[in-house]
Amino acid sequence: MTKIKNNFILVFALSLILVFSLVAIANAKAQNGQLNAEEHRSKVANFVQNLLQVADREGGIGEKVRTIAQEQNQSADTTVQAVEKVRNRSGLKAFLIGTDYKNIGTLRSEIVKTRNRLEQLKREQEKTENDADKTELQNQINALEQEQTKIEKFIKDNESKFSLFGWFVKLFNR
């Protein structure tokens, strides 16, 4: 009986070590190349600053561009907070129940809002008569689209993480 008990304890301990090792490996892979929240905040701040400069120079579209820049700045704060919450989820919790679906939903919502702002900027760019301002607006649109791509990849990577009971949690988060 003691031998069976010792074998059970050994198998159980090895199983726990294996599970925690898998969680650590999964977290290391997830952190590698992931979206950096502070880098995102910095790039959006540059985007906003450049747009505000264009808004100050441009005549009729200036106020609309300024509004878009301010909305995107607010969106960046929400996005950064959501990214940090998803990234800071404990490895064991992510392994057992999956990623932070609430904040992934927040990121998806911000992506849609940003797409709408990008469309507005493109319409305002068409109205711009100054070629230098058109070029600057296009550069800023491209920069924001690149950030959007990073966020979309971040979402995809976090949704595709393995979890034991993630399928069950997803049923209630729909």
In the numeric block, the tokens 């064991």 are attached to 92
CA 1 to chain centre: 53
Average pLDDT over residues 127-134: 87
pLDDT score for 32: 44
The share of the chain scoring above pLDDT 90, in percent, equals: 32
Q: Would you kindly state where each structural domain of the chain is located, as residue ranges?
A: 33-172
The share of the chain scoring above pLDDT 70, in percent, equals: 74
- Give this prediction's pTM: 0.71
Fold annotation for 33-172: Four Helix Bundle (Hemerythrin (Met), subunit A) (1.20.120)
CA 124 to chain centre: 27
Least confident of 34-43, 111-120, 144-153: 34-43
Average pLDDT over residues 138-158: 93
Q: Is pLDDT at 33 greater than 50 in this prediction?
A: no
Please, is 62 exposed, middle or buried when counting C-beta atoms within 10 Å of its C-beta (0-12, 13-18, 19+)?
Answer: middle
Q: Is pLDDT at 13 greater than 60 in this prediction?
A: no
Per-chain mean pLDDT for the chain: 80
